[in-house]
Structure 1
């Protein structure tokens, strides 16, 4: 079944009544509508303000926060920047999911690496043909622009020509602000 991992996460999150979406490479594939490459894991994005709600939603799971590249048990403290990554493990069945905390300010999503970059909250998520929410590709690609790996470049190439004009312009402007020498800029012009 295509997008089996995404469907599984969507089922898991079906009762979560806060904003969330698939992130990373899977978000790119959901946008394109087909699996373009192999994925080793699955990430979801939520807003930082919803972190404890999320933790209480997946009750009984084991949580680790990533601090300076190392895993530490996440108790019930509010995680602040620079901590933005959580790993959750269901000890009963071995399911794992990576949670990426996203910043907001009022009615805007804010890029944690450069707060000059933002977009209205209603432009952060889209839905696949089967109703799975995902982080919009221009935001995913902005995150992938730092320390770009080959798989990130593949995701960019698979996406760039299918981005709507406004999303393409937004990504171009964001890259010019955050990574002004990035090779993707010329490919977007």
Structure 2
């Protein structure tokens, strides 16, 4: 059962599509140390690559959150194309195993990643990820923090405080603009600009 980014990297080693560790583990890959406990492992893939993901995980037990955010899961059938708004896939090695990986499908237009929260928020796909010293791809911290800014919890504050000093100017500017677009009064904005 994958329970660390290294384990997921082994599962995805044969992937011929881009993928990135997301969530709190993405922040830990940035800072190079453990920050807190985790309930699962998040992996971001592009919606256009979902058939490749489905093939890669053909032996896994895969369920999609349908409808999103309602706590209901249903099997993701082989050959089924998941369309917007479906974007959250829960994965486990076998039906008896605990859920271990949460796949998230994100949108693209051409060479641009497009936020599902606001299609005006974009980033070139080649800036969407970074690679850890161990060679593990992870979601760019500014994008991960943008996702975490929606409804911050203690763990999101921990991740924000650890990642903020490591963001370069362009990442801070992008994060500021993205948060302003969806939450103009967000408390993180003052901190981002004061670094």
Q: TM-score, normalised by structure 1?
A: 0.94
Q: Partner of 2:76 in structure 1?
A: 74
User: d(CA) in 2 for partners of 1:133 and 1:103?
Assistant: 18
CA RMSD of the aligned region, Å? 1.4
> Gaps (5+ residues) in structure 1?
none
> Gaps (5+ residues) in structure 2?
none
Query: Where do 1:99-114 residues align within 5 Å?
Result: 99-114=103-118
Q: Partner of 2:24 in structure 1?
A: 25
Deviation at 1:92, TM superposition (A): 7.9
Q: Partner of 2:167 in structure 1?
A: 163
User: d(CA) in 2 for partners of 1:171 and 1:9?
Assistant: 27
Deviation at 1:94, TM superposition (A): 2.9
User: d(CA) in 2 for partners of 1:112 and 1:59?
Assistant: 26
User: d(CA) in 2 for partners of 1:170 and 1:87?
Assistant: 29
Q: Partner of 1:50 in structure 2?
A: 49
Q: How many residues align?
A: 186
The CA deviation string for residues 54-100 of structure 1, in whole angstroms up to 9 with x for no partner, is 11111211110002321111113211111110011111883721101
The CA deviation string for residues 1-37 of structure 1, in whole angstroms up to 9 with x for no partner, is xxx7111110111001100010000000001111111
The CA deviation string for residues 104-146 of structure 1, in whole angstroms up to 9 with x for no partner, is 0000000100001001011001000000000111000111111
Q: Partner of 2:101 in structure 1?
A: 97
User: d(CA) in 2 for partners of 1:49 and 1:99?
Assistant: 14
User: d(CA) in 2 for partners of 1:42 and 1:175?
Assistant: 24
Q: Partner of 2:4 in structure 1?
A: 5
> Are the equivalent residues in 1 in contact too, given 2:61–2:95 (CA < 8 A)?
no
Q: The residue matched to 2:165 in structure 1 has which SS?
A: helix
